[in-house]
Structure 1
Amino acid sequence: MATETLHAASREALAAAEKRLDEVLRSDADPATLGTELLAVVGLLTRETGLRRAVAEGSSDPAARKGLVRRLLTGKAAEPALAVLEAAVGERWSSPRELVDGLESLGRSALLTSAEKAGNLEAVEDELFRIARIVDGEPELERALSDQTAPPETKRRLVHDLFAGKADGVTLALVEQLVERRKGRGIGFGLDRLVKLAAQRRERSVAYVTSASELSADQRDQLAGKLRGIYGRPIALHVEVDPRLRGGLVVRVGDEVIDGSVAGQLEALRRRLAA
């Protein structure tokens, strides 16, 4: 979740909750368990409208909101998760939805911290990219995972059946939670957001590269170096092969597209001739 989508009060609330999360993560808390429990609460609040409103009601006593969370979740979530949840609901959010968005951000951050500590963050980022491309290339799968009428558990089970044993546990947890709480744009967009979150943890921007053929390690290094020179920051390359390009590359960084493919050049020539 991008903090720029939050209103001012919610940005301040999220910053305070992130500070508490950092404190908890510096203790002996297991970040994978913490992230999983926070995202489980996101699922609970998404389903339970009345509870969501109760814990986000800014006009109520913050101590009462904290007490409600602790009474409901003691025994269902460990103390580190309870500490972060109390900090979050004790703040003033612009809306109940933005509280849930904030908790989602905290849960994802904890899971990515787990991957980072295990030395798997780059692998998780790449797995998220590969899953995004699979979903992009299979319209029926994208529809099944985006179907808001389907039970969330059915969609989670589909993700597990497809990718369990082929992806890191953090990757699976992030994707399962994404399909459970899909909102706004489609699953492919959500997966790309997760890729960017992982890249940001490595202090990199993401370049999506489509190549007519496989790139060697040297070619990837050279391309990353050139893009770093253009954009002034480290770049995480995610490459897929599409022979239809006939040759060359198409590179997308944010909203900017650099089309150096043969197919792109031919299309540009056709447009000029038709003008």
Structure 2
Amino acid sequence: MSAAAESRLQALDGVLDGQHATAALADELFSVVDALGAQPALRRALSDPSTPDEVRAQLAESLFGQRLGGTTVTVIAQAARARWGSSSSFIAAIERQGVRALLRAAQDEGKLDELEDQLFKVERLVDANPELRQALADRVTPVQGRKDLLSGLLQGRVLEATRQLARRAVEARQRTFALTVEGYLAMAAALRERAIATVTTAIPLTDEQEARLKTVLSRQVGRDVNLRVVLDPTVIGGVRVSLGDEVIEGTVAARLDDAQRKLA
């Protein structure tokens, strides 16, 4: 993502952060995303860079002002005022705010940890089930049907916010369901100024091992770290840690590969 695009997203984040986040706000933002997705002419009109910024913002206010809450209209108008480069980027920016509204509402209710843990488990469930993963990615099947499939599996088993985010992730705006969920988890970590480390290991870590690893990684990056532990029986001893773009190999296989390279 370019620095300019990142700056636009941060500015829109700031608009939402100045409002009271609720599940109802998220619902309204998602309803706008769905409406824009179904109406190409509308999304082009609100994101056309040849139209003056304030004209696009005023159009958003006139279209949604009588039907949606004031907070929602404020966010949509600001999104319309910015220049995103494409209508798809415009829609993705609004959906991001819907996701962040749900995450912030969960944080206010003291449920963000539970939501993060559930989202991660849903991602792993889909990843571990090839038939389910293929069904959710099948573009021949209408997206509503795919959403309902996953929603039915999660009904009554997770927080409503978790189920709603999982449904949104089926559209895979970040190329795949898994990458989209990872994006949600990154947003959740950012709300609390934390980093995410994915730990791949053949056997579960003990509480003491997790605590030690968290301490070491937090010291390394200078902020708290959330661990996402992935069990992989093909890992031969030790652990593999992915922290952002950095991969720390501590497995027997990695050390053997390194030894072979040095001997070659």
Into which bin does the TM-score normalised by the smaller protein fall?
A: 0.7 to 0.9
1:234 corresponds, among 205, 224, 228, to 224
Q: CA deviation at 1:266?
A: 5.0
Query: Per the alignment, in what secondary structure is the counterpart of residue 166 of structure 1?
Result: coil
* Offset at residue 76 of structure 1 (A): 4.8
Tell me if 1:106 matches 2:92. Answer: no
Q: Deviations over 1:214-233 (max 9, x none)?
A: 22222211110111223333
Question: What residue number does 1:22 align with?
Answer: 17
Cα offsets for 1:23-81 (capped at 9, x unmatched): 322xxxx5211112112211221222111101112333556544543454456533321
Residue 185 of structure 2 corresponds to residue 195 of structure 1: yes
| Matching residue of 2:247 | 257
Q: For 2:86 and 2:103, how far apart are their aligned partners in 1? A: 26
Shift of 1:212: 2.5
Paired letter, 2:31: A
Quick one: which amino acid aligns to residue 39 of structure 1? F
Separation (CA, whole Å) in 2 of partners of 1:16 and 1:238: 29
Identity over aligned residues, as a percent? 33
8 Å Cα contact 2:151-2:166 kept in structure 1 = no
Q: Is the 8 A contact 1:124 1:198 kept in 2?
A: no
CA distance in 1, matches of 2:174, 2:203: 34
TM-score, normalised via structure 2 length: 0.87
Provide, for residues 73-92 of structure 1, a one-character-per-residue CA deviation record: whole Å limited to 9, x for no partner: 45653332123212322334
Q: Within 2, Cα distance between the matches of 1:249 and 1:11?
A: 33
Contact 1:211/1:242 (<8 A) preserved: yes
Contact 1:16–1:88 (CA under 8 A) maintained in structure 2: no
Alpha-carbon distance change, 172 to 76 in structure 1, aligned in 2, over 3 angstroms: farther
Contact 2:238 2:252 in 1 (8 A): yes
Name 1:178's counterpart in structure 2: 169
Whole-angstrom distance in 2 between the partners of 1:77 and 1:15: 23
Instruction: Look up the match of 1:55.
Output: 46
- Tell me how far apart the structure 2 counterparts of residues 196 and 19 of structure 1 sit (CA, whole Å): 17
CA-to-aligned-CA distance 1:108-165 (integer Å, 9 cap, x gap): 1111101110111122112121112122212222222122232121111012111122
Q: Hey, what does 2:153 align to over in structure 1?
A: 162
Give 5+ residue unaligned stretches, structure 1.
none
Indicate how the Cα distance of structure 1 residues 243 and 17 shifts in structure 2: closer, same or farther if over 3 A, else same.
closer
The structure whose RCO (Cα within 8 Å, separation 6+) is larger is 1
* 8 Å CA contact 1:206, 1:236 repeated in 2: yes
In structure 1, what is the equivalent of residue 194 of structure 2?
A: 204
Mapping 1:129-148, distance limit 5 Å: 129-148=120-139
User: 103, 113, 119: which is aligned to 1:128?
Assistant: 119
2:68 to 61, 65, 77: 77
Aligned length: 264
The structure 2 residue matched to 1:97, chosen from 66, 88, 94, is: 88
Counterpart residue identity of residue 112, structure 2:
L
Could you tell me how far 1:209 is from its partner in structure 2? Answer: 0.9
TM-score, structure 1 as length reference: 0.84
Q: Deviation at 1:11?
A: 4.8
Contact 1:245 1:264 in 2 (8 A): no
**Partners in 2 of 1:236 and 1:162 — Cα distance?**
26
* Partner amino acid, structure 2, of 1:113: R
CA distance in 2, matches of 1:208, 1:126: 13
In the aligned structure 1, how far is the partner of 2:163 from the partner of 2:114? 12
Alpha-carbon distance in structure 2 between the residues aligned to 1:184 and 1:125: 18
Unmatched tracts of structure 2, length 5 or more: none
